[in-house]
Chains A and B, each alone.
Chain A
Amino acid sequence: MRLSGRLILALAAALAGAIGRADEPADENKDLDLIPQAAQTPAKPAAQVPMPTGTTSKFYLENTFTQSWAQGGLLVPVPPPPPSAWEERLLFDVRDEWRLGSAVSLIYSGRLNLRAEDHLNFPSHQNVTNDLREAYASSEPLEQTFVDAGRINLKSGVALGFNPTDFFKTRAVVEPVSVDPVVLREDRLGTLMLRAQRVWSAGSLTVAYAPAVASRSAIYGDNDLHSFDPVFDRTNAQDRFLLKGSIDIGDRLSPEWLAYHEDGRTRWGLNLTASVSQSVVAYAEWSAGPRPSLIDDALRFGRATGTLAPDARAVLPDDAREHFRNELAVGASYTTGAPKITFNLEFNYNQAGFSGTDWNNWFRAGRGAIGSSPTAGELWYIRDYALDQQEQLTRSSIFLRADWVDAFIPKLELSGFVNTDVIDGSERVQLTADYYLSDFWTIGGLVLTELGGRHSEFGSLPQGGSVLLKVARYF
């Protein structure tokens, strides 16, 4: 009986609760108060908003002003002229696409720059430069089979800080407004090529051939740029071939294999991404093939293009033999719950890059030299070459990046990265802020600083950092 009594009470309570819920939804209707007054009225009838077409075009005008500061007490002085202390740039960036019937599309992407900086004559043709990033025709002769011809930006790689499989990155970056690897990837020239691609439901295959149409040229400085020139000498000085294929293994893993041939050398590559959890994506990017060290590559290029004397004696001990050398970027992204911040952490490795011994030799060879000496010229040429090739100079580094959308307030986007040289602990740190004033206006800025001792990669650079302010108008 006592048990029955408890059951009756429990059931009565349950029934009372159920009946109570049936018609009294408590405060559910209070949620309606959260709908903004301006949104209380439903939008206009749906059918009046038509499906847009031709929507990949993008036009914007941007003005940037950069002020840099020098780093004093360099162990290895920089050859003249010294780096610019300020730069003012107005750029008009265009990306558009036109369809010729249903079979062929024409794609154009480019940037017109008006620039002024100290150490640059004004007015001169140097004040106006045009970057022809892409201009190509694209067609689909068979279903899901595409053929493209012209200047194309063919990019590969899943990492953020260093892309060993991005074979067409070399010499393609022209006067970037930021050293952010993400920006460097966007603002670069394509390569004149013929590309064919077949896409299946579970993978794709791409073949590309880029012919040699110009002679190799010396590394450009910021005061000897061409105004209106496609500069194929940067992108098409050798015959280049690329074959890459990807396949999905389930919906969590997608490997991509690459084979690249240039100048008698073949490199192999692999890109791998995996969805680990709701908030983590892991990735790895690797390439390898026979090649000499970065130092030897740089000196050969300098002699071949006339910047260094053909009989110039190497100021650094160097191994000219070709070895099978690896480049690797391995990392993961992690997105936090609230606030929403995405972190990317990577370990980057370039076997052909500077070892600790190479760095010691570099500083020892240049100590006490004067900036205009051949020794200083050759030492800095090696570093300029690595920059021009978009190759990681040092052997090992750790790259950490963070992106925060709606940081503190809506429409404020913060991003930053720290690139740390594992050998000497020096760091490059950059913080960027963009605020979207409206759909059309964006203001922003960035602060870059190089941290490290005088005997370190980033502490030995002539510029200690910079501040950039920008305003952009989108059309």
Chain B
Amino acid sequence: MRLGTQLVTFALALLLGSAAFAQTAQEIVTATDRVRNPAKPFRTVLTLTEYVAGKERDHDVLALFSKEDEASRQFRNLVQYVEPARDAGKRVLLDGHSLWFYDPDSKVSVRISAQQRLIGQAAIGDILTVNLAVDYTSTLTGVEKIDDATHQPRQCWHLELKAANDVATYSRVEYWVEQGSFYPIKGKFYSDSGRLLKIVYFRNFSERLGAIRPAEAVIIDAVDSSLATTATFGESSYQEVPETWFQRDYLPRLQIK
């Protein structure tokens, strides 16, 4: 009987402990969201370098305007292609379900689907600013020591994230966050069918927008592992982004000053 009582007590403690973990997991993800991006509206330049079979293939430069929506607490992004020259001036508005693509050649804004968003490199800007704590529910699966992108060991929380709404781009995410600093170290992104799509390493932690943040992400295509992209944040500054900028008819009017 005593053993039974002890077991029940132990099981209850485990259950309560895991509930506390679940709450903590969400807080961890929220904290690391803040490490990646600030709450205030900002603009930045993002350089994407694509590698094919280990060799640098080409690069894109994007101007990114980002603002957290007070209601949804999710980032809304306005992206303009700067390079390559053939894509210069193309713009993408990424605002929850409202996704629009503007091509200055056709001069028409076209609504695109979330799947279509993933075709262009602009999606990377969106992925890098997403508040994971908003679109995903998190649980802590353990504590692990893994190597970061520079092969330095980091003591990390290993988190499991499940899509909590239909805005979430991925069905499931595995996430490693360094204990203490809340630095994001690594993420693995999965499709609805459970297929691993992308592996992301964060690195180059340095001063940006008033805090130490990852200045670079290495994004590995897990479907075709010969493809990889580095995304490097360049000059960044706080800038008020008016609400009208997220109106599709504003897309042709956007000017970077």
Contact = CB atoms under 8 A, between A and B. Distances in A.
Contact of B141 (A21, A60, A203, A251): A21
A58 B232 contact: no
Interface string A21-52: 11111001101101111110011011111111
Contacts of A102: 257
Nearest to B43: A51
Given A199-B247, A410-B57, A275 B228 contact: no
Nearest to B232: A43
Contact of B233 (A35, A46, A158): A46
B200 to A, nearest CB: 10
A209 B237 CA distance: 40
B16 to A, nearest CB: 15
Contacts of A155: 106-108
A433 interface: no
Contacts of B145: 23, 25
A8 B203 CA distance: 43
Contact of A204 (B107, B110, B115, B247): B247
A436 to B, nearest CB: 7
Interface string B245-257: 0111110010111
Nearest to B55: A38
A381 to B, nearest CB: 30
Does more than half of chain B's interface fall in helix, strand or loop, or is it mixed? strand
Given A29-B146, A38-B51, A46-B233, A273 B43 contact: no
Interface string B58-71: 11010100000000
Interface residues of A, number: 93
Interface in B172-197: 176, 186, 191
Contacts, number: 260
A43 B235 contact: no
Nearest to B229: A39
B111 A275 contact: yes
Contacts of A59: 85
Nearest to A202: B247
A32 B113 contact: no
Contact of B11 (A7, A252, A472): A7
A302 B218 CA distance: 62
B80 to A, nearest CB: 7
A292 B246 CA distance: 41
B112 interface: yes
A46 B234 contact: yes
B113 A278 contact: yes
Given A46-B233, A146-B253, A185-B108, A35 B84 contact: no
A463 interface: no
Given A275-B113, A410-B57, A436-B58, A58 B98 contact: no
B243 A201 contact: yes
A102 B255 CA distance: 11
A38 B203 CA distance: 15
B127 to A, nearest CB: 15
24 contacts: A8-B7, A11-B10, A11-B14, A21-B158, A22-B143, A29-B146, A42-B215, A46-B233, A49-B234, A52-B45, A52-B82, A57-B89, A58-B88, A58-B105, A99-B255, A146-B253, A182-B106, A199-B244, A200-B247, A281-B113, A336-B115, A410-B227, A474-B84, A475-B85
Given A38-B51, A51-B63, A158-B108, 19 more contacts: A21-B158, A38-B56, A39-B51, A39-B228, A39-B230, A42-B216, A43-B47, A43-B204, A45-B206, A46-B206, A51-B235, A53-B256, A53-B257, A58-B86, A102-B257, A182-B106, A186-B106, A335-B119, A410-B52
